[in-house]
Amino acid sequence: MPLPTPGSEQGAAALDRIVQRPADAVLSFDFDGTLAPIVSDPADARAYPGVTAELSRLAPLVGRLVIITGRPAAVAVEYGGLADVDGVLVLGHYGLERWEDGRVTAPEPPAGVALVREELPELLRKTGAHEGTAIEDKGRSLAVHTRRAADPDAALETLRIPLAALAQRAGLTVEPGRRVIELRPAGMDKGAALAGVAADAGDGAAVLYAGDDLGDLAAFEAVERLREKGLPGITVCSGSDEVAELAARADLVVDGPPGIADLLAALREAIEDR
């Protein structure tokens, strides 16, 4: 399977560097919408067929394989079958949680999370949340999903202002995403998480980050900052018709999780054949 050609020179140079010097590569991926297809119930999300096996083949070939997700790390590990991927690092809650070798480390959630947990059901009732609106309690944060409403976008719009007000009162930050608004602890994002991993990898690192949603923009920006410092970097958008911003910014756009699965296989083959 041929490697796709990135639309930018910097992206092409980074992909070439990753193939030629895989031991210096940091390969990083978002979970939902990138490794796993979007489904209507968040509890039903699973890695796209073949993705976990391909990650397992790539892991020993590259310097660092990282999943950076808004999910709790252990949930991404379970839904992605990632415990079978040797040496993978999973950063959950936008980088607050670190899962490695079966162990999770994370700071205690701020008190605002408990406040949101207590007040959210009543807020949804009072604001006339559309039928199908659902709360996902992730322990260290809460998400409000509207994908199962008859008009998911209208349902989300109804909630934007009240949820922002609640987040402000609770001292949390608002994370908008694909038919979801999350209220989560401030002070960490996928960009800071990726920058930390890249720093650990050292000055010779080359970085690939693939994502599909607005929360991945911070990681795209981190790749752009690394490039300004001279490190090769490539951004990949797992494309959908729900998020235009990421595709416009990416060095390479592939066709959702099936396209990511093909990219993983092509990258592994190119590394093996170099």
Quote the least distance from Cβ 52 to ligand L263DTV3, whole Å.
15
Minimum CB distance to ligand L263DTV3 smaller for 19 or for 217:
217
32, β-bridge pairs: 36
Q: Which of 254, 244, 193, 270 is nearest to 35 (CA)?
A: 254
- Of 3, 27, 55, 69, the one binding ligand L263DTV3 (CB under 6 A) is 69
Selected range binding ligand L263DTV3 among 15-23, 63-71, 198-206, 230-238, rule: CB under 6 A: 63-71
Q: Which of residues 149-188 bind ligand L263DTV3 (CB under 6 A)?
A: 177-180, 182
Positive or negative torsion for Cα 143, 147, 149, 152? positive
206-211, strands of its sheet edge to edge: 103-105, 97-100, 89-92, 64-68, 25-29, 206-211, 233-238, 252-254
| Footprint on residues 112-141 left by ligand L263DTV3 (CB under 6 A) | 136, 138
Of residues 39, 114, 161, 186, which one binds ligand L263DTV3 by CB under 6 A? Answer: 39
C-alpha to C-alpha distance for 215 and 211, rounded to whole angstroms: 9
Tell me the two tokens of residue 185. 């602890």
- 73 to 112: interface string for ligand L263DTV3, x by CB under 6 A: ----------------------------------------
- Output 206 or 217, the one with its CB closest to ligand L263DTV3: 217
The Cα 260–Cα 4 span in angstroms is 11
64 binds ligand L263DTV3 (CB under 6 A): no
Residues that bind ligand L263DTV3 (CB under 6 A): 30-33, 38-40, 42, 45, 69-71, 136, 138, 143, 145, 147, 177-180, 182, 213, 215
